[in-house]
Amino acid sequence: QQQVKQSPQSLIVQKGGIPIINCAYENTAFDYFPWYQQFPGKGPALLIAIRPDVSEKKEGRFTISFNKSAKQFSLHIMDSQPGDSATYFCAASYQTGANNLFFGTGTRLTVIP
């Protein structure tokens, strides 16, 4: 059973567009929500993360929006570039003593020049 649901599965945008990837969860014990970026043949790498006490976090062109009451969070990529083409995973964790991450199923983003 997938604890974090992610959509869409794939996304194609033109350069300069603003792709949005959405995630939802049920477990209210989750208290940390990172996004990972993965390029083909590589391991995932942390992109940006948020805690539920804030509704938005921005780092460069990447923004997380968080809606605690709806148990949803999303990633927005401003002014998307072909170099942003990758697979993006949302995740969630709660304090278990080991920071175990529960991942979404991933979104393959393609930015067309």
- The pair of three-digit structure tokens given for residue 27, joined into one six-digit string: 């477990």
Q: Which of 21, 36, 4 is nearest to 102 (CA)?
A: 4
Pick 4 or 11: Cβ nearer another protein: 4
The one among 66, 86, 103, 109 contacting another protein by CB under 8 A: 103
By CB under 8 A, name the one of 20, 24, 49, 72 that touches another protein: 49
With CB under 8 A as the contact rule, the residue among 51, 65, 71, 73 that binds another protein is 51
Give the binding range for another protein (CB under 8 A) out of 34-42, 53-61, 62-70, 76-84: 34-42
Q: What is the 3-state secondary structure (H, E, C) of 46-101?
A: EEEEECCCCCEEEECCEEEEEECCCCEEEEEECCCCHHHCEEEEEEEECCCCCCCE
Residue 68 binds to another protein (criterion: CB under 8 A): no
